[in-house]
Amino acid sequence: MARGSFKTALNSRLSTFQKIYLLLIAGFILGPFIPLVIQSFAFRWAWPDMLPGTWWLEQRENTLMPLAWDYVISPYSRVWEATLNTMFIGTVVTVICLAICLPAARVLSRETFPGKPAFEFFLSMPLIVPEAAIGIALLMIFIHIGLAGTYTGIIIVHLIPTIPYMIRMLTAVYQGLGRDFEEQAMILGANRWQVMWQVTLPMLLPGVVAGALFTFLVSTNIFLLTFFLGQGKIVTLPTLLFSKISGGTLDASAAGITLVVTVPGIILLLITERFIKEEAFGKGFGN
């Protein structure tokens, strides 16, 4: 009896409830993509049919491609432009963010100084101040100084929500690194630069890659700031999709664009899962 209750209290396998729950979660997360894919290949899909009444295949003589995909690859949809913009902005933001966060994370993980807790709190403030407040306030300034609707403006503004994440990830990496190896190298006669290039950087690299991927991901996901500061002149994948579905309906072409916007996320998921250890996210906020 006692051993039985011990076993149920400390089971390392799934209970029946957990099995069902995991299946439901899978359905909740992936399920909605099924009608999306179907919609993108439909020609006519009237209510209440569970499957399209007319597939694009039956209309092949009229269109070479499914309507949705024909639209997606045509220049009218601006998908190509939005993809390039998203990638470009994400890359530049990641590089800048990395360059300014690396030294700061180094100091934060190794030094103590008066006011450090306040400093750390200020660094994570952008996470808890509503994006709408920052976006609209900056829009007024950026219009005034001519940065609204420019790449520079959007890249600058993307730094605000990405810095807190980058700092957190890099600080965790530096803390895990320890100082021993660098000191060893110093004792063996290496100078500051040799230590930097031959000891610190190689050990830091996996963490830096993880931080960079995560920053890129956050940047490509940002809607509100891009929408406000892009002024409609610069479209990215999130803002493109927003304008397509803002009417509250979803036609075949919108379904196609939704799928396209999903693809970078899937690619990043496959890459990050290899580079980012889940433990890296364990560092609590504000402590």
163-202: contacts with another protein (CB under 8 A)? 163, 167
Residues 6+ apart with CB under 8 A from 88: 151
Return the SS3 of 249.
coil
Helix (H) or strand (E) holding 152: helix 151-177
- Member of 1, 16, 30, 64 binding another protein (CB under 8 A): 30
Burial letters 155-183, b for 16+ CB under 10 A, else e: bbbbbbbbbbbbbbbbbbbbeebeeeebe
Q: Does residue 114 interact with another protein by CB under 8 A?
A: no
CB 232 within 8 A of CB 107: no
Q: How far apart are CA 260 and CA 86, in angstroms?
A: 12
Cβ 192 to another protein shortest distance, Å: 11
Q: What does the alpha-carbon distance between residue 200 and residue 193 come to, in Å, rounded to a whole number?
A: 10
35 lines the binding site for another protein (CB under 8 A) = yes
Q: In the range 209-268, which residues lie near another protein by CB under 8 A? A: 217, 220-221, 223-224, 227, 237-238, 241-242, 245-246, 248-250, 254-255, 258, 261-262, 265-266, 268
Binding mask 63-102 for another protein (x = CB under 8 A): ------------------------------------xxx-
Angle between helices 201-221 and 151-177 (to 10 degrees): 140
Q: Which of 215, 214, 263, 211 is nearest to 237 (CA)?
A: 263
Beta carbon of residue 77, minimum distance to another protein (angstroms, whole number) = 15
Among 129, 175, 197, 201, binds another protein (CB under 8 A): 129
What is the pattern of x (binds another protein, CB under 8 A) and - over residues 40-59? Answer: -------xxxx---------
Of 35 and 206, nearer to another protein (C-beta) is 35
Nearest-approach distance from CB 193 to another protein, in angstroms: 15
> Shortest approach of another protein to residue 86 CB, angstroms?
10
